[in-house]
């Protein structure tokens, strides 16, 4: 695939390199930004390196267009070196207001860049107290892992100019995030307030001996957690109201809010005994996994969830699709023209995704055919037989396929598919599809697919002649492809070559 371009490379400064700061570094870096990190922890480079390694294994699997070339990562000795020349500064130091004030003052002594704070609890007006340029500081609160979860709560105060916040939203969208503008300052913003309510109830359930940490997690991940991942709270309850919707749900379950079911405003005694109970139960639940193992398991599951939502253009998947379109818009003009012109374009770019991998760690056999189908779909669109043509009542149906598996493909491999017209008439289309994997040494052909397609009147359920415009474009394409060498394996049947001994058939 032609490398994506974003104009001049931009720089992000990450101040504080913990789990959140490392996630921000990965998010910017893998979206083509240069990243400078300052963290006094002598282990910061190692820790952030582990986060970025996780991101490299996960984030590219969410993009169908390909991410831009990775930016440059540097670790610098002080805040001034980090923020000099930065287009965005992300502060992610510990949740101590006095520390944040000192760090923000150092940042603004060396830079006029916008400063987003990852704070999970402080209001922007609190962060801005005593600042040289309070209007350049705002809350940009993400969720872990920052490189996969798209939401960032963008919280301004009256000191922030609307244009500056709009510009911040554009930057965040540009790195694939969903900047939710929180209109009013409030402690802990929106997400953490909701999480805090659930956390309090969970602590009470453990404290009172009603449930273990594992049982509580099973309740969440096997029931409403699955619903929340794709419909949230209110949309889920709207469905629970049946055909009458949310008004019926509120009328039916509203009185229960007055019952003493929850302890949202009370916290259980935070004693050593409670800490020991929770810690020991957590060890029994997950102690057989290292933290790095759990991170990888989490990321692989999130990628799978997000890919499913992406296919349906729903929830977080809609954000991912919007980012793909943004990345595609940044392709060089000549690459756009190439991909849009059927007389020039003959390639489809594909990325081997987690769901394509089998138990051997390779691309599973059915996905070779799926990848070939993607190439044919693009080809049909180029000759005028795409989805609009199908909606009009005509389509090409596959009548016969011969697939050869020639080499392996693994997670994250980039594939190139090419379609060649071997023959056609008004009702039939004979295609050859080649799939190749790009390696440092060049291309390796991993599969070939030979197909016979029939043109069909979908309403009548029988073959018919293709539309004149489709046949004209197909003729042009076939004439061009006739100049290509005919593949040696074209027309080959299964097992052609050295014959295998057959089984004796009983008389």
Query: Distance (Å, rounded) from C-alpha 167 to C-alpha 163?
Result: 6
Query: Distance (Å, rounded) from C-alpha 144 to C-alpha 51?
Result: 11
User: Beta strand 178-181 with 442-457: parallel, antiparallel or unpaired?
Assistant: unpaired
Q: Are 125 and 157 in contact (CB under 8 A)?
A: yes
Sign of the dihedral through C-alpha 243, 247, 252, 257: positive
The per-residue pLDDT for 205 is 95
Task: Tell me the average pLDDT across 311-340.
Answer: 74
> Which is the CATH superfamily of the domain at 341-481?
Hotdog Thioesterase (3.10.129.10)
The per-residue pLDDT for 496 is 63
- Name the 3-class secondary structure at 102: helix
**Nearest of 32, 63, 5 to residue 332 by alpha carbon:** 5
Which residues carry a binding-site annotation? 16-21
Task: Please give the mean pLDDT across all residues of the chain.
Answer: 89
The per-residue pLDDT for 442 is 83
Give the DSSP letter string of 360-396.
TSSB-HHHHHHHHHHHHHHHHHHTT-SHHHHHTTEEE
What is each CA distance from 199 to 56, 91, 205, 209, 269, in whole angstroms? 31, 26, 10, 15, 14
The per-residue pLDDT for 459 is 94
pLDDT in tens, 386-442: 988 999 999 999 999 999 999 999 987 889 999 999 999 999 999 999 999 987 778
Indicate the pLDDT class of residue 3, thresholds 50, 70 and 90: very low
* Region 192-311: CATH code: 1.10.1040.10
Residue ranges of alpha helices (H) inside 111-190 are 124-127, 162-174
Task: Tell me the average pLDDT across 266-280.
Answer: 88
The per-residue pLDDT for 341 is 41
Query: Distance (Å, rounded) from C-alpha 453 to C-alpha 472?
Result: 17
The per-residue pLDDT for 507 is 52
The per-residue pLDDT for 339 is 44
Show me where the domains of the chain are located.
Answer: 11-189, 192-311, 341-481
CATH top class, domain 11-189? alpha beta
Q: Are 115 and 164 in contact (CB under 8 A)?
A: no
Task: Tell me the average pLDDT across 286-291.
Answer: 89
Specify the pTM.
Answer: 0.75
Indicate the pLDDT class of residue 500, thresholds 50, 70 and 90: low
Is pLDDT at 344 greater than 70 in this prediction? no
pLDDT in tens, 184-238: 999 999 999 999 999 999 999 999 999 999 999 999 999 999 999 888 888 888 8
Which residues carry a binding-site annotation for NAD(+)? 16-21
pLDDT in tens, 428-455: 999 999 999 987 778 999 999 999 999 9
């Amino acid at each position: 695939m032609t490398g994506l371009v974003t104009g001049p490379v931009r720089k992000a400064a990450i101040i504080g390199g913990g789990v959140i700061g490392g996630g921000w570094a990965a998010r910017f870096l893998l979206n083509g930004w240069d990243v400078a990190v300052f963290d006094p922890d002598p282990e910061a480079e190692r820790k952030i390196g582990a986060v970025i390694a996780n991101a490299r294994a996960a984030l590219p699997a969410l993009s169908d267009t390909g991410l831009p070339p990775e930016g440059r990562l540097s670790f610098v000795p002080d805040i001034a070196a980090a923020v000099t020349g930065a287009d965005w500064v992300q502060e992610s130091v510990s949740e101590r207001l006095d520390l944040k004030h000192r760090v923000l003052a150092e940042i603004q002594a060396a830079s006029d860049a916008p400063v987003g704070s990852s704070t999970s609890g402080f209001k922007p007006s609190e962060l801005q107290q005593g600042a040289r340029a309070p209007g350049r500081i705002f809350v940009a609160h993400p969720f872990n892992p920052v490189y996969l979860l798209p939401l960032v709560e963008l919280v301004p105060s009256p000191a922030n100019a609307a244009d500056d916040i709009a510009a911040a939203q554009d930057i965040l969208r540009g790195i694939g995030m969903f900047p939710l503008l929180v209109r009013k300052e409030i402690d802990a913003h929106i997400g953490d307030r909701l999480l805090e309510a659930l956390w309090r109830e969970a602590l009470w359930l453990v404290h009172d001996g009603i449930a273990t940490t594992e049982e509580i997690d099973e309740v969440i991940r096997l029931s409403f957690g699955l619903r929340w991942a794709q419909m949230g709270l209110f949309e889920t309850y709207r469905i629970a109201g049946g055909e009458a919707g949310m008004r019926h749900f509120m009328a039916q379950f509203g009185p229960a809010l007055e019952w003493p079911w929850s302890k949202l405003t009370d916290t259980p005694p935070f004693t050593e005994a409670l800490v020991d109970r929770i810690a020991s139960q957590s060890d029994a639940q997950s102690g057989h996994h290292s933290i790095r193992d759990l991170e990888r398991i989490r990321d692989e599951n999130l990628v799978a969830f997000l890919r499913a939502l992406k296919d349906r253009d729903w929830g977080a998947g809609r954000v991912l699709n919007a980012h793909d379109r943004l990345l595609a818009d940044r392709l060089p003009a000549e690459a756009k023209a190439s991909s849009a012109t059927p007389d020039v374009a003959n390639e489809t770019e594909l990325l081997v995704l987690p769901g394509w991998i089998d138990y051997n760690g390779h691309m599973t056999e059915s996905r070779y055919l799926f990848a070939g189908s993607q190439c044919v779909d693009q080809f049909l669109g180029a000759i005028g037989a795409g989805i609009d043509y199908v909606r009009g009542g005509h389509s090409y149906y596959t009548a016969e396929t011969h697939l050869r598996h020639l080499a392996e493909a693994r997670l994250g491999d980039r594939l190139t598919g090419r379609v060649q017209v071997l023959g056609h008439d008004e009702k039939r289309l004979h295609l050859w599809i080649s799939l190749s994997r790009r390696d440092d040494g060049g291309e390796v052909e991993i599969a070939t697919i030979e197909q016979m397609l029939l043109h069909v009147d979908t309403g009548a359920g029988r073959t018919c002649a293709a539309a004149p415009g489709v046949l004209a474009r197909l003729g042009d394409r076939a004439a061009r492809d006739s100049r290509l060498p005919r593949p040696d394996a074209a027309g080959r049947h299964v097992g052609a070559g050295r014959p295998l001994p057959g089984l004796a058939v009983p008389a």
